[in-house]
Amino acid sequence: MKTAKRSEHKVRGEHCLNVFVSYELKDKLKMLADKYDRTVADMVRSVLRIGIPMMEGLSQAEELMVREYIALFRKLRQVKSLKDI
């Protein structure tokens, strides 16, 4: 009986996430939830659903910028070394 209860509890808890946020952010989430007649949990889920693709896009753009910056830096360094010769 105990093993079944443990596995059931584990399955239930696997999808949970505890996040600590500032009071200001929590207040904003509460105000949005009240304004649109939703729960704070619904607002957090929506923000995460919307924010994850945006964060992925920003991270990919950042990676691309860094790669291109490094390539440009190497190119400029090569041009400078050719001028010194």
- Condensed to tens digits (0 to 9), the pLDDT of residues 55-65 reads 999 999 999 99
Residue 7 or 45, more confident: 45
Domain-located, residue 32: yes
Domain-located, residue 34: yes
Domain-located, residue 6: no
Burial grade of 6 (CB within 10 A; 0-12, 13-18, 19 or more): exposed
Domain-located, residue 33: yes
Which residues, in sequence order, are CB contacts of 19 under 8 Å at separation 6+? 44
Q: What is the pLDDT of residues 36-78, one digit of tens each?
A: 999 999 999 999 999 999 999 999 999 999 999 999 998 888 8
Residue 1 or 52, more confident: 52
Q: What is the pLDDT of residues 11-23, one digit of tens each?
A: 666 788 889 999 9
